[in-house]
Structure 1
Amino acid sequence: MSRKLFGTDGVRGRANTYPMTAEMALRLGAAAGRFFRRDGGSAHRVVIGKDTRLSGYMLENALTAGLTSTGMNVLLLGPVPTPAVGFLTRSMRADLGVMISASHNPHQDNGIKFFGPDGFKLSDEAEAEIEAILADDIAPAQPQNIGRAKRIEDGRGRYQEFVKTTFPAGLRLDGLKVVIDCANGAAYKAAPEVLWELGAEVIPVGVAPNGTNINENCGSTHTQTAAEAVVAHGAHVGIALDGDADRVMILDQHGRTADGDQIMALLAARWAEEGRLRGGTLVATVMSNLGLERFLHGRGLRLERTAVGDRYVVEAMRRGGFNLGGEQSGHIVMTDYATTGDGLVAGLQFLAEMARTERPASELLHTFETVPQLLQNVRYEAGKQPLSDASVKARIAEAEARMTGRGRVLIRKSGTEPLIRVMAECEDEALLRAEVEGIVAAVEAAV
């Protein structure tokens, strides 16, 4: 059963444009409710969280109407990070969790992500079944069985208390000055409060959401703002989250940014030393740097690569029994603690290493030498298939032949935006640039 509505991370699009309309959200809520009420019975429960986008109000109300129409009882969390929804779905014994967010995208976009009762994102098969229900007439509940909706006032507090349990009990952050950039998003209250409660001197950035400034010149996709704050305040470290706080970038005391690969390398090496890295394996996507793979192999550890998307990382981790994985983009998944990427928990693990070793962030964030990597995006119109063009295929084949034994080429469609992502790695930077630009030119000509 194929999926058309769902992408690599739920349903996503421009707000008030298909499929991110109130009408579609209502039907999607009803279809999800019907899917989870297949066995009949009563007391079915769903938790709904959201980030700070203006369109979140519209989609929250529409989803609530759809879900209650099929007999689901809705618990509204308000603005909380995506990992909080995974945690609270399981903690509150809900059948379903829903997060309304478009993650790192601008405020004009929004999305809907589903979590199962175990706190993990729904499988491709479950999403396909929901789509099938959506395409048919959705049977409503009888009047006496319509669900109720209730706002949960302490959802964020419950999540914050959980997050603090992931930080080693014998450590504190006293003496550390930390810049935390919350991207004007879902963690704008939770992240600064957790850091302060653990003893850090906190410099908050991106904590004034107004509905339209999420991810705007701040957060993990625009670390310059956090970098400037680190330097201006003489901070020891900076932590930059994205709009729903499931991604993180960490900055050293000089304002230099380290991506998810460097963070994963540090954690993998540390956990392996402690005998905590299950299977001696780190799970990452095809986008992770070749230098990470070499670093792990040099320590007798293994890198297992997956398709792009943290859900595919998590699926591989669960299949293999591994407990550490993530993406170069900053999703860090630690299944000892959480069911999905958690930027705040990952940031705390890094701060714990700073506190334990008393080493500066600049040393801890330079775990391996990266192989030069170049990524360029080409936007295309919906409905076009540029990667099917014969000239594009030929140009990619030429690049792969030239890179053999020297690097690699990766071309893929984005799962969240109409973009072709052209990425290559090679220690010969002139060859690297020539091949990426050649493929980009061919794709642009095709679109």
Structure 2
Amino acid sequence: MTSFLLPVVGGDLRVPLVTGGTVPYANLDIAASAPALGSVAERVTQFLPYYSSVHRGAGHASAVSTAALAAARRTVAEFVGARHDDVVQLVRNTTDGFNLLAAAVPGEVVTLDVEHHANLLPWHRAAGVRRTVTGRATLAATLEAVEAELARRPAALLAVTGASNVTGEVLPLDALVGLAHRHGARIAVDGAQLVPHRRVDIAALGVDYLAFSGHKLYAPYGAGVLVGRPDWLADAAPYLAGGGAVRSVSLDDVAWAEPPARHEAGTPNVVGAVALAAACEALGSLAETTQLRHEAALRDRLRDGLACLPGVRVLGLWPGETDLLGLATFTVEDRPAPLVAQYLSAEHGVGVRHGRFCAHPLLDRLTGGAMAVRASVGLGTSSGDVDRLLDGLAQLVSTGPRWTYDDEHLPAPDPRPLPTWAGGERARVGG
């Protein structure tokens, strides 16, 4: 049995079933939002007594907070192999990071149709024009299509995901960097899925910008980062106008600060930055081979088990051509994705994600726009979690649900209580 690799907050959580009683929660929704590492929560608890204003406070707590914020930037930069002059720009999440970059990019942007909306929608608002390359049947043909698009007309930026949040396939960043730079473009990588699972060294790879989210890196405290070259960010108008982003202000004029302060108006999320740095430290201290072996064992158990179930189809772009993260997105014949997800939760205590995963163009291509179900593993996942999912799906395809579900695929009735502090009513899910 594969045990968890690092303890996470909520690792001992028990959840109610519609049939009565409780079971340990099998959290297989890590790709959406990962739980906090125990060490991250401990660091936040250690820091909170010192939380105070930064940069201009004279008190001891302010000095500690200011130092912690600066140290967090250094830790993140080291974790991703940043160049000495790269900027570590604190943002809320990957989406926020790419919106900031979209306001700074001085020209057209080329993307793939496999992207998360975080790396599709911001370019609609950019000063330049977004050009999208549709993925081909093979990875080699897709790379050729990217190169042809870059050669057809100059672009300022190639913006690509490091790993698909739908299929788990890892894109060849070394090849994509080479294509971009050969045609005079920079490259920005959506690292939201890649960074929690694979070591990334942007200086060694030649990546110009990397964005990722704390909530996917076991630090769900509201911070993310955009790390990369300073010049575009220095030339761009401030992302937000406000205190902290300026050198001086008069009633008639303003002198804006240089990055990162230029794009971080308002009081920064110091707690989030401290948490993100703690997560980087924890993952950085793991032997890379240890994490890879843990994830590979769970990934293979998950994918092999799904392949054995009749009527279950696992989605993929280039089967057998790329490295795979520990996730699988699938459909179940004659079973709507919302029903599958609700059934797994209600009758087996398994948490998965269903919907189109903020990747609608890709789901249009892979499923004709239909929703699917995604199961994903992480540092706090055990083989027992994966087995519970597979056992539940086996029961579903062989005998169907034991409970009743309404027209919206919700358990009817649903006797499972929610904590009173959560509001007492279950929210609708999906998307």
Give TM-score, length-normalised by structure 1.
0.27
Tell me: higher relative CO, structure 1 or 2? Use CA pairs within 8 A at least 6 residues apart: 2
